[in-house]
Amino acid sequence: YDPVFLPNGFEKTFGEMSAEQKHGWKPGQPTALSHRARAFQKFAKARLGSA
């Protein structure tokens, strides 16, 4: 379904994005697009705390 979904605030569908754009996250970016990346962020924050 990646070619169909256009995330809010983006001009490319998931199918047009690179893997880094879909699954990556960079400091300063509020949250990742990928549900797996968001889950890992929550896990890391719970285990390591905010640094």
* pLDDT for the residue 12: 93
Give the residue extent of every domain in the chain.
1-51
* pLDDT for the residue 11: 92
* pLDDT for the residue 51: 55
Residue written as tokens 């962020």?
41
pLDDT (tens place) for every residue of the chain, 51 residues total: 889 999 888 899 999 999 888 887 777 777 778 888 888 888 988 998 865
- CA–CA separation, 44 and 50 (whole Å): 9
What is the pTM for the complete model shown? 0.59
Quote the tokens at residue 24. 């990556």
- CA–CA separation, 28 and 12 (whole Å): 21
